[in-house]
Amino acid sequence: MPIRHLVSVSCMLLFYCFVAAQDKSPYKYGKVTPEDFKTTVYSIDSSANAVVVAHIGSTQLVGNTKGGFSLEYKVYKRVHILNKNGYDKANVNIHLYTNGQSEEKLDKLKATTYNLENGKVVSTKLENKSGLFKDKLTKNNILNKFTFPNVKEGSIVEYEYHITSDFLFNLQPWTFQSDVPEVWSEYNVSMPQFFYYVTLVQGYQPFHIRESKNSRSNFTVSDVGTSLSSERVSFTTGVTDYRWVMKEVPALKEESYTSSLDNHIAKIEFQLAERREPLTYQRIMGSWPDATKRLLEDEDFGAVLTKDNNWLNETIQTITTAADSKTEKAKKLYAFVRDNFVCTNRGSIYPKQSMRDVLKKRSGTVAELNILLVCLLRKADIAADPVLMSTRGNATMYAMYPLMDRVNYILVQTIIDDKTFYLDATEPYGFGKLDYTCYNGHARVVNKTADPVHFTADSLYEKKLTSMFFIHDKEKGFQGTLQQSLGQFESAIIRNKVKSKGKDQVFADIKKEYTGEVDITKEVLDSLKDYDMPLGIKYDIGIKSFGEDIVYFNPMFAEGFKSNPFKSAERFYPVEMPYCIDETFLLRMDIPEGYKVDELPRSMMLKLNENDDGIFEYRIAASGETISLRARLTIKRTFFAPEEYEMLREFFNMVVKKQSEQIVFKKK
């Protein structure tokens, strides 16, 4: 490309500039001494299997001979492997981008293992030719991987490499946190004044250093072209040099009630938003309406929705014959896809086969099945659109900017008589109900205005009611019944289990939850096929008579928490429950003949906080020859900040303790 057209090139300009600071990492490649091996337990985490001693990166931009720029991304990392459980840190993956014709170039790779032998540092270098392996994961992702040689307990490993990239949009993000502690993590980037980047910072760890300085830098670009002559141009521009450092960063590990660690890990990302003067102005990062417009114009997405699809008429007529309203038609079309199609994949938003083939095969991906439902609804003259979203377990979508790599799921929005419903034909739910994994924050309707939708877990209540009634027979022991009305999501779990393993397996699993000799008979599942109703479980239960002088008896049976779901002493990111909880357990039982109550758990009322965000009631009483119990647990919100963790953990400690308390029966 001629130099005179340089200013019209859509590119991202970066230049690494050393930012002087008194506080910097003392580690350099190859400078490993016996002193470095002395620390075998790090104060940041005495139980760590490995520790990242230093992780330092920078990005610079150099002119190339193609009339543009190439990015040079540099990484250095040192890790101390403390025991065998840390050996996985000897495996390194380096991802490169490719567009199918060219790819990013990995060079200057050095990797060395250091061991202390007889007081001396012995190094073993990686042989790049034989030790580096390359795999193509997807059409845009190439994986280079290697394993450090001669790794032992106590080894120090370090590596560095450069990536040269002609894909100027690919400004590398930086992750300051991992599943092991990091003593020092640093990233340096220079932003030119003629490019505007959206910088996204997330996590709950403070920066040790976060600074920026303005400077001016000179850049030279040449264009050799196909002749011996070349064009060359130099220019000076202002840049802002950024430096981000985190120090003593604790490990981030998966714990219960987490949407996705990708939402909480300390990291920084960049999105090129605008090209500014002296380049020709261009808005690069569009809005959500821009993104949905591109989807609607996409041959693999929007074209499927805009076709006539007259071949669907016969199918719709057959399904909706008895329906006398749009709502009834929509319910029948939804049930048709839900009950007759198999979901084969949940990871793509683009349909890969035609809607004709989906209908014929009765199978497809989430995108294919839900887009087929959109087509059916539209053909039946019912307003419907796809919805872009990110499921729980995936990084949440960003409301302000269309970061499409965070989108991993397609839902259906339909509007009938001014009422809006959201549907997912791949899950066993009633009309207008979604799985809790869909309640992961921001979403967007694929229409001209890209209407925003927000799915919040606080709007979900999982209600469960369990009633048990026992009489005591001297010969047969306790004979009773159990009735349960399950919540929406537990109902779906049981329905899926019945579908895959059968009803008998469901009750076999229930029986395993009881301790002692228990017989379960007359098993019934109510509303198994009625997805609009909660699933009901009924069965008779028999427990043999007591024989011991003293008997310990847990009145909660198989219900309640067996252990605290919050096991860690501290937590560095929020608790994100999938839904609010409302569980009630009722028991009425005879005192066994020939016994008296020697000890009875005390009743209690426990509150999580002053706002009553969590309440646990345990009311138990013995009256005459009968014991009655009412236990109820409610959690009224799903998100708890890290500073609330200790309170929440202690609340559940007390709940678990109370639910495990036993009645003591003693022979008269």
The Cα–Cα gap between 60 and 264 comes to 28
The Cα–Cα gap between 551 and 103 comes to 72
Q: Which comes out higher in pLDDT, residue 1 or 311?
A: 311
Domain-located, residue 569 = yes
Q: Which comes out higher in pLDDT, residue 79 or 308?
A: 79
Pair (637, 494) in one structural domain:
yes
Q: What's residue 71's pLDDT?
A: 85
Given 455, 489, 522, the domain boundary residue is 455
Q: What's residue 170's pLDDT?
A: 87
The radius of gyration of the chain's CA atoms, rounded to the nearest angstrom, is: 31
The Cα–Cα gap between 105 and 97 comes to 9
Q: What's residue 79's pLDDT?
A: 98
Pair (49, 196) in one structural domain:
yes
**Lowest-confidence pick of 239-248, 455-464, 513-522:** 513-522
Q: What's residue 230's pLDDT?
A: 66
What average pLDDT does the chain have? 91
The share of the chain scoring above pLDDT 70, in percent, equals 96
Asked whether the predicted pLDDT for residue 168 surpasses 90, the reply is: no
Pair (98, 14) in one structural domain:
yes
Asked whether the predicted pLDDT for residue 233 surpasses 90, the reply is: no
Number of compact structural domains in the chain: 3
Pair (469, 599) in one structural domain:
yes
Give mean pLDDT, residues 112-134. Answer: 93
Domain-located, residue 47 = yes
Asked whether the predicted pLDDT for residue 585 surpasses 50, the reply is: yes
Backbone dihedral angles phi then psi of residue 562, each to the nearest 5 degrees = -85, -25
Pair (448, 472) in one structural domain:
no
Distance of CA 137 to the CA centre of its chain: 21
Residue 184 identity (one-letter amino acid): W
Residue 282 CA: distances (Å) to CA of 193, 402, 541: 14, 17, 72
Q: In CATH, what number is assigned to the domain containing residue 493?
A: 2.60.120.1130
How many CB atoms neighbour CB 637 within 10 A?
14
What the block records as the tokens of 488 is 């929406």
Pair (221, 236) in one structural domain:
yes
Pair (441, 586) in one structural domain:
no
The share of the chain scoring above pLDDT 90, in percent, equals 73
220 Cβ neighbours under 8 A, 6+ residues apart: 63, 232, 233, 234
Pair (200, 341) in one structural domain:
no
| pLDDT tens digits, one per residue of 607-658 | 999 999 999 999 999 998 999 999 999 999 999 999 999 999 999 999 999 9
Asked whether the predicted pLDDT for residue 475 surpasses 90, the reply is: no
| pLDDT tens digits, one per residue of 428-442 | 999 999 999 999 999
> Alpha-carbon torsion 432, 438, 444, 446, what sign?
negative
Range of the domain at 423: 288-455
Asked whether the predicted pLDDT for residue 227 surpasses 70, the reply is: no
Asked whether the predicted pLDDT for residue 15 surpasses 50, the reply is: no
Domain-located, residue 32 = no
Pair (106, 8) in one structural domain:
yes
pLDDT band of residue 6 (cuts 50, 70, 90) is: very low
Q: What's residue 237's pLDDT?
A: 86
In angstroms, the first-to-last Cα distance of the chain is 99
Backbone dihedral angles phi then psi of residue 456, each to the nearest 5 degrees = -110, 135
How many CB atoms neighbour CB 95 within 10 A?
15
Given 422, 437, 455, the domain boundary residue is 455
pTM here is: 0.85
Pair (385, 528) in one structural domain:
no
Domain-located, residue 36 = no
Pair (395, 443) in one structural domain:
yes
The Cα–Cα gap between 43 and 176 comes to 18
pLDDT band of residue 81 (cuts 50, 70, 90) is: very high
Q: In CATH, what number is assigned to the domain containing residue 137?
A: 2.60.40.3140
Given 418, 434, 455, the domain boundary residue is 455
Q: In CATH, what number is assigned to the domain containing residue 349?
A: 3.10.620.30
Domain-located, residue 34 = no
Give mean pLDDT, residues 515-520. Answer: 86
Pair (445, 474) in one structural domain:
no
Reduced to 3 states (helix: H, G, I; strand: E, B; else coil), residue 9 is: coil
